[in-house]
Amino acid sequence: MSLQQKSIMINGKNIINERPQIVVPIISSQEEAILKECEQIVSKKPDLIEWRADFFTDLADVEKVKHIIGELKLIAQEIPIIFTIRSVREGGQEISLDEDGVVRLLISVSRDAKVDFVDFELSNKASNLQKLKEVTDQSGTQLIVSYHNFQQTPPKEFITKTFADMQKAGANLAKLAAMPQSFSDVVTLLQCTEEANQQLDVPIISMSMGDIGVVSRVVGWQFGSVFTFAIGSQSSAPGQVPIEDLRQLIAKAKIS
Ligand SMILES: O=C1C[C@@](O)(C(=O)O)C[C@@H](O)[C@@H]1O
């Protein structure tokens, strides 16, 4: 399916339009710093904000988490928010919740805090993915199903199957981040992105991490990756570049 035929509706607007959406992460660990980081980021006008809540020290306190989301929404105004708890096995921080606890929290922030997007890894239990999907469908939250590999770029067949499995699992968006060892790995990731974008109904998000992969954050859009992650205040993954630079590079790299 071409990008023109895909849509992700937020506040009545299709956010898949003529350019990639730039997402900026918040990675502070305490409430005050999180809100301050959000203010700094908002001044740089990203398209979306990701709260990487695995960095938050009080993650087990559901009410506190929901309260912070409310505060973030006030600061971010119309900028949509992605709520992400990245697992340690996929490059995230140590947290006090187990997988079932994470699902309960994601359900709660989707249902009660009405966050715009939640991110959940494909490697979680299929029953948990299904449980979360039922709730996000009801609450209108967009479900990003994701996979991260900080060591290497898996073979083409693996990447292709992973994107397809994400769609099967009920993803509204399918996201894959991998670490390249060479520029060929970056090309592999971009080719798989292009093919998955054509073959699947869901929008694709992909990135090659690290210095070698920087180019994928600029031109990934031309291959069908609808979001690209940039630094607003602090980086959440290797290879991210400051939002100001990324914006300029994307404008220069635009074909049409
Ligand atoms: O999945 C992703 C992509 C990412 O790992 C990156 O490489 O930009 C950054 C993470 O914060 C986000 O959740």
Check residue 141 and give its pLDDT: 97
pTM greater than 0.95 (yes/no):
yes
52 CB less than 6 Å from ligand 1? yes
Question: Mind listing the domains of the chain with CATH numbers?
Answer: 21-253 (3.20.20.70)
Can you spell out the DSSP letters for the chain?
A: --GGG---EETTEE---SSPEEEEEE--SSHHHHHHHHHHHHTT--SEEEEEGGG-TTTT-HHHHHHHHHHHHHHHTTS-EEEE---GGGT----S--HHHHHHHHHHHHHTS--SEEEEETTS-HHHHHHHHHHHHHHTPEEEEEEEESS-PPPHHHHHHHHHHHHHTT-SEEEEEE--SSHHHHHHHHHHHHHHHHH-SS-EEEEE-TTTTHHHHHHGGGGTB-EEE-BSSS-SSTT--BHHHHHHHHHHH---
Percent of the chain with pLDDT strictly greater than 70 = 99
Q: Which atom of ligand 1 lies at the shortest distance from residue 240's CA?
A: 8
Pick the atom of ligand 1 nearest to 236's CA. Answer: 11
- Closest residue to atom 7 of ligand 1, CA basis: 237
Structure ipTM: 0.98
pLDDT on residue 11: 86
**pLDDT tens-place string over residues 43-94:** 999 999 999 999 999 999 999 999 999 999 999 999 999 999 999 999 999 9
Percent of the chain scoring above 90 in pLDDT = 93
Ligand 1 midpoint to CA 74 (Å):
24
Positions of the chain with pLDDT lower than 70, given as ranges:
255-256
Pocket test for ligand 1, best of 41, 86, 89, 225 (most atoms within 8 A of CB): 86
Confirm or deny that 63 is annotated as ligand binding: no
